Structure 1
Amino acid sequence: MLSAEIQQLIYPVQQFLCCATPDSWLKQAVKPESLSVLLHDHLICELKAAQSAMYLIRRYAVDEQSGEALLQWLKPYEDFTYRQQGDWHELAALSLKKSMLPKASSQYAQDLIDKMVLLIKEELHHFYQVLEVMQQHGIVYQKITSSRYAKGLLRHVRTFEPAALVDKLICGAFIEARSCERFAKLAPLLPPRIGEFYISLLRSEARHYQDYLALAQDIADENIQSRIGFFAQQEAELVMSVDDDFKFHSGVPVAAN
């Protein structure tokens, strides 16, 4: 049972999304044999969230030197995840070594930097925390393939600016919101230490989707409600349709169909 505090945090997220996570996904997620896949994919999701935010800063907000500093910040995480190089225990001490200098030509660059750098810091911290949880449960990291979810959203991004940036930010909002919705759904059903961890993530990340939406509206030259509605339908379709690849953001498991 979720506390009143958590229910208050998750309510706006639930209202933002078009559908709840199906019970069939939850039944698969709480099986003991699903824990390794769930944590592995959650780990990858944290890194991808940081990478996506870094891409937005580099593409739209900072000069070349600042962009290079961002690449160097994430490189040890990427080396560990994709090339299985380095000791993950050393990741905790890493930080961004350079101040980000906004592009003078962009009126929204500083706001993008402020929100996305904070998000990157949080996502990388959570990446490390997931590795700690995996170690506590005797789960050794191995590379896995990505789910269809993020690609399924991003394939609808428009190809001209600033519409492309607006759509990417809206996609980011839905990814963050769905993550929080699933943290809340899973927390009472998983082993207590993992459940408590997911509640802590919910407290930290519940505002992320709102940051993405605020940026999208500030940057857009029109009201974005129609685009939010469009992506809400695409996101719901991914969540409610049959999916043969169980992951943290996957759809209805094949076995349930």
Structure 2
Amino acid sequence: MLSLQSSSSPRWLAQVDQDLELVLIDHAHCEKKAAGTAMNLLFSYVDNEQLARDMTEIVREELEHFNLVLDLLKRRAIKFRKVPPSSYGQRLAALIQKIEPQKAVDRLLVAGLIEARSCERFSLLRDHLPDQELAEFYGSLFESEARHHSTYVRLACHFQPEQQVRSRLAELAAAEAEIIELGDPFARVHS
């Protein structure tokens, strides 16, 4: 369903346990960046009506999630602040080809893989965290992340035949698995 070719290692949950506050702050940034990605896709491919409508919905949901995480931080007296991002998104973005229509396909598939990894990580947080509020919160986000992943993959098929899209998705998913295995030294949603 999620097109991922690997599962998160126990190393990531150990990072979460060591610095949950930083993961929560990073999560807010991830929601904001996800809204920005969808907005950029909307501007880039505005002539594709289905993409424009779907991106509008994703932007709305991601900003709603951003506000939910901000509320969560406020309830916990955690100050929202800038934090250096993980290298995950930058490494994935480097895989995007530069010529259309492959660029559109890659942009959509990379966004979809990020959503899939978020979905997997939120599921892990739901099952791992002893804090009931946080466990329920991450459980509540699982479905929308999975839906966003599916939407991005479906929209990529507007630019190339499905067989080509699925083949490229497998290539990108293999690269994503290598990137996630490398990890990052600091606790982040995608470290």
Normalised to the residue count of structure 1, the TM-score between the two structures is 0.71
1:179 aligns with 2:121: no
Residue aligning to 1:26: 13
The count of aligned residue pairs is 189
Partner of 2:188: 247
Root mean square deviation, CA, Å: 1.3
C-alpha separation between the residues in 2 aligned to 1:176 and 1:27?
A: 22
Q: How far apart, in 2, do the equivalents of 1:188 and 1:168 lie?
A: 31
Give the number of the structure whose residues are more often helix, by fraction: 2
- Higher alpha-carbon Rg: 1
TM-score with structure 2 length normalisation?
Answer: 0.94
Question: 1:84 maps to which residue?
Answer: none
Query: In the alignment, which of 137, 154, 157 is matched to residue 214 of structure 1?
Result: 154
Aligned to 1:234: 175
**Matching residue's letter, 2:141:** L
Deviation of 1:225 (Å): 2.1
CA distance in 1, matches of 2:97, 2:117: 22
Deviations 1:113-134 (A, max 9, x none): 1111110100000000001111
Q: Which is worse superposed, 139-148 or 219-228?
A: 219-228
What CA distance in whole angstroms lies between the structure 2 residues aligned with 1:230 and 1:217? 16
The separation in 1 between residues aligned to 2:35 and 2:58, in whole angstroms, is 7
Structure 1 runs of 4+ aligned residues shifted over 3 Å read: none
Counterpart in 2 of 1:144? 83
Aligned-partner Cα distance in 1 for 2:145–2:169:
20
Residue aligning to 1:162: 101
**Is 1:127–2:66 an aligned residue pair?**
yes
Identity across aligned pairs (percent)? 37
Assess if the C-alpha contact under 8 Å between 1:30 and 1:189 holds in 2: no
2: CA distance, partners of 1:244 / 1:39 = 16
Which structure carries more relative contact order (alpha carbon 8 Å, separation 6+)? 2
Native 8 Å contact 1:37 1:247 kept in 2: yes
Mark the runs of 5 or more structure 2 residues left unpaired by the alignment: none
